[in-house]
């Protein structure tokens, strides 16, 4: 892939909601909410975007956010075990800490995580209406952490004109699994509401590979719950809305390379936000205020047992407070430009961490807080009848590092003569040093470095999408190809004495995302995605860990009748380099070694019994693959879940 030296991503799409989705009651599946907060057709946005709707989540049987992310082009999901276990996402070869996750437009990465990475294994999807994934740099819109991409979870909203709608889901199956959800939503005059609770319990499967001679076949259980409440008022020109979301998981854990019956964890998050929005000058200018708070609490306990006399009691507490003033202005026609729009605003964030972990002789302590303020602006417009242009700029001002100026720009050219769209974009992004990296302490021999600078990147991408007129329809097939290229600098790592941290690393990643969709019949649609990635340490030229060269996913939607939907899905992951490996006796192996490739087959079938009731069956890993996404942790074994969901 050395020859592929020019290309790549800009999640320039100024997507998702700067201040959440306007005054509309529900996001429009065919559009992306850009930084201008003007719903824009996805094909007009200069970025590689994947949107998973509520229908996709249900028809494909996704229970958790990790399951939903596994087949997205450009991504590699690495989960250390089954449901609820730690799961990391690597986008286009960048680090897992370089993925920014939003909930209704608000960052929710846990400040108490040492690197600021997000755990994708925690989130249930019962209250999620839509997931927007933008690959490439997004710091010009969202600030720190958006080097590899941005993922926005959009929660369910009240249906317009319906006073009361009751919805839910109940299911059970193998591995002692039971799942349930119940909610109500509606609109009463100017008022709207949505309340929902969901839960999942499972005995799980053995996360320790059977190749380990010390494997005891112990399973890792999960008990997860979540609740969401939204209340709002809107009169057509103004709105006020409040959202409260709670999520808590209780889970069993393992130590590599041995099962550990006394190791368990608790992970809880509270999220709340209050926002208001007003349209001025006949809707030309929309201005809004938002205040949001996220509180994370994680505790891991491991009591002494026959296998080990060690004792663990780790506690992590992190909080993020966000204040945002966002604006969008519809400029209309300006000289040679049409459909012009402007977005601008100010965002202030404050993070705090109080964490202690490790054994008494190797105790890690972080007790710190920091604030930052950002000024941001973005524009988009159409030039002529074919060319869409967009650009953005953001200045982050931090109290304990130098801050960063991010930019992005891109263009989409429509070529209707051949039913194609050409995209090109470029931009910069950054990841601020975490509070642990700046102020953490380990015993008396390690101190964080308060003088660390931000990790930075430059990325660009170029690609096209083309509809082919076959199978008797104009879009019988859609072909998409995107080449991406990312350079990251000032990456943070340990100094030579392992006494602190420094900005000493550089990395590069480049590759191609290829997608093919076929629609050979009204009742059949297939999709195939193949991502080739070459990610390397720029200093040593060694491959970066957990970035496989090849990831291929395939899926289909078969609907032979109006009531039946069958959704098979296959995920192939090629050999993946790893720097933490173990032999069959559980001995640690130094150096870079490759995990074997693996293939997982899933199948979900749904049957609409009545207009309000749908029965379904979800089969996961039907081939019972024992593939290890992370060395020492095997993918969950074969499982089957049957259930029903309803909407009244």
617-628 mean pLDDT: 95
Q: What is the pLDDT of residue 38?
A: 58
User: Cβ(386)–Cβ(375) under 8 Å?
Assistant: no
Asked if residues 401 and 433 have their Cβ atoms less than 8 Å apart, the reply is yes
Mean pLDDT of all residues in 119-129: 94
Q: In angstroms, rounded to a whole number, what is the distance separating the alpha carbons of residues 511 and 2? A: 10
Tokens of 202: 């499972």
Closest by Cα among 20, 40, 37 to 329: 37
H-run or E-run covering 613: strand 613-620
Mean local confidence (pLDDT), 267-284? 95
Helix (H, G, I), strand (E, B) or coil at 402: coil
Which residue intervals of 71-210 are DSSP H helices? 139-142
Mean pLDDT, residues 136-149 taken together: 94
Structure tokens at 602: 């899933």
Bridge-based pairing of strands 149-155 and 99-103 is parallel
pLDDT-derived band of residue 214, with 50, 70 and 90 as boundaries? Answer: confident
- Mean pLDDT value across residues 151-156: 94
CA distance 193 to 211: 51
Q: Give the model confidence (pLDDT) of 561-612 as tens digits.
A: 999 999 999 999 999 999 989 999 889 998 899 999 999 999 999 999 999 9
Closest by Cα among 373, 364, 295, 313 to 110: 295
What topology does CATH give the domain 31-647?
Answer: Maltoporin; Chain A (2.40.170)
- Do 613 and 579 touch, CB atoms closer than 8 A? no
Q: What is the mean pLDDT of residues 291-307?
A: 90
Distance CA 558, CA 565 (A): 6
Instruction: Cite the DSSP H helix spans in 397-520.
Output: 435-439
pLDDT reported for residue 311: 80
In this predicted structure, the answer to whether residue 292 has a pLDDT above a threshold of 90 is: yes
Instruction: Give the pLDDT band (50/70/90) at residue 97.
Output: very high
pTM of the model: 0.93
For residues 454 and 433, the answer to whether their CB atoms sit within 8 Å is yes
Q: What is the pLDDT of residue 13?
A: 34
Q: What is the pLDDT of residues 441-476, one digit of tens each?
A: 998 899 999 999 999 999 999 999 999 999 999 999
Place of tokens 């009591």: 303
Q: Where are the domains of the chain?
A: 31-647
CA–CA dist 98, 614 (Å, integer):
39
Closest CA to 123 of 226, 213, 52: 226
Contact in structure between 82 and 132 (CB atoms under 8 Å) = no
- Write the CB contacts of 526 (distance below 8 Å, at least 6 apart in sequence): 517, 518, 520, 554, 555, 556, 557
Which two three-digit tokens encode residue 300? 């891991």
pLDDT in tens, 39-69: 677 778 898 999 999 999 999 999 999 999 9
Helix (H) or strand (E) holding 185: strand 177-188
Q: Is the dihedral of CA 393, 396, 397, 401 positive or negative?
A: negative
- pLDDT at residue number 15: 30
Is the pLDDT score of 11 beyond 70? no
Whether the per-residue pLDDT at 106 is higher than 80: the answer is yes
In the 8-state DSSP scheme, what is residue 42? G
Express each pLDDT in 318-337 by its tens digit: 999 999 999 989 999 999 99
Give the pLDDT band of residue 509 (cuts 50, 70, 90). very high
């Amino acid at each position: 892939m050395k020859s592929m030296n020019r290309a790549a991503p800009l999640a320039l799409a100024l997507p998702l909601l700067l201040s959440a989705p306007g005054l509309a009651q529900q996001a429009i599946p065919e559009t992306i909410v850009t930084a201008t907060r003007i719903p824009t057709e996805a094909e007009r946005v200069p970025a590689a975007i994947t949107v998973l709707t509520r229908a996709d989540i249900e028809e494909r049987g996704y229970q958790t956010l990790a399951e939903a992310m596994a087949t997205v082009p450009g991504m590699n999901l690495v989960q250390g075990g089954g449901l609820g276990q730690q799961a990391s996402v690597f986008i286009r070869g960048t680090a897992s800490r370089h993925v920014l996750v939003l909930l209704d437009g608000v960052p929710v990465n846990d400040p108490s995580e040492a690197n600021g990475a997000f755990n994708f294994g925690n989130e249930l999807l019962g209250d999620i209406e839509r997931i927007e994934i933008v690959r490439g740099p997004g710091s010009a819109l969202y600030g720190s952490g958006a080097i590899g991409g941005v993922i926005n979870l959009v929660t369910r909203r009240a249906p317009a004109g319906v006073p009361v709608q009751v919805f839910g889901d109940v299911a059970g199956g193998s591995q002692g699994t039971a799942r349930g959800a119940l909610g109500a939503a509606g609109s009463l005059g100017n008022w709207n509401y949505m309340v929902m609770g969901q839960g999942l319990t499972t005995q799980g499967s053995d996360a320790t590979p059977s190749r380990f001679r010390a494997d005891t076949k112990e399973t890792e259980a999960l008990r997860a719950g979540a609740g969401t409440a939204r209340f709002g008022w809107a009169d057509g020109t103004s709105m006020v809305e409040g959202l409260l979301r709670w999520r808590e998981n209780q889970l069993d854990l393992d130590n590599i390379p041995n099962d550990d019956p006394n190791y368990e964890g608790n992970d809880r998050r509270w999220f709340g936000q209050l926002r208001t929005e007003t349209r001025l000058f006949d809707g030309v200018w929309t201005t809004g205020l938002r205040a949001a708070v996220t509180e994370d609490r994680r505790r891991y306990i491991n009591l002494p047992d026959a296998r080990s006399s060690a004792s663990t009691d780790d506690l992590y507490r992190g909080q993020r407070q966000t204040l945002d003033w966002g604006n969008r202005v519809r400029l209309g026609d300006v000289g040679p430009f049409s459909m012009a729009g402007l977005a601008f605003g100010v965002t202030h964030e404050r993070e705090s961490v109080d964490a202690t972990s490790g054994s008494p002789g190797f105790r890690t302590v972080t007790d710190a807080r920091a604030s930052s303020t950002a000024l941001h602006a973005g524009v988009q417009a159409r030039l002529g009848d074919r060319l869409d242009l967009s650009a953005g700029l953001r200045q982050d001002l931090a109290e304990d590092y130098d801050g960063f100026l991010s930019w992005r720009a891109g263009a989409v050219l429509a070529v209707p003569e051949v039913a194609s769209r050409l995209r090109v974009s470029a931009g910069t992004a950054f990841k601020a040093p975490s509070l642990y990296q700046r102020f953490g302490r380990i015993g008396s021999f390690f101190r964080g470095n308060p003088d660390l600078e931000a990790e930075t990147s430059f990325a660009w991408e170029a690609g096209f999408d083309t509809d082919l007129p076959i199978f008797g329809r104009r879009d019988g097939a859609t072909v998409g190809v995107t080449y991406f290229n990312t350079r990251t600098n000032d990456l943070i790592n340990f100094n030579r004495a392992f006494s602190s941290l420094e900005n000493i690393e550089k990395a590069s990643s480049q590759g191609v995302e290829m997608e093919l969709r076929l629609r050979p019949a009204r009742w059949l649609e297939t999709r195939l995605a193949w991502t080739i990635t070459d990610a390397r340490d720029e200093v040593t030229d060694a491959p970066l860990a957990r970035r496989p060269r090849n990831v291929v996913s395939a899926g289909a939607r078969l609907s032979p009748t109006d009531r039946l939907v069958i959704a098979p899905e296959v995920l192939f992951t090629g050999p993946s380099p790893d720097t933490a490996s173990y032999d069959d006796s559980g001995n640690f192996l130094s150096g870079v070694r490759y995990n074997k490739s693996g293939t997982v087959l899933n199948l979900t079938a749904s049957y609409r019994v009545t207009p309000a009731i749908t029965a379904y069956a979800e089969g996961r890993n039907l081939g019972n693959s024992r593939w290890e996404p992370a060395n020492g942790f095997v993918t969950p074994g074969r499982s089957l879940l049957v259930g029903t969901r309803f909407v009244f």
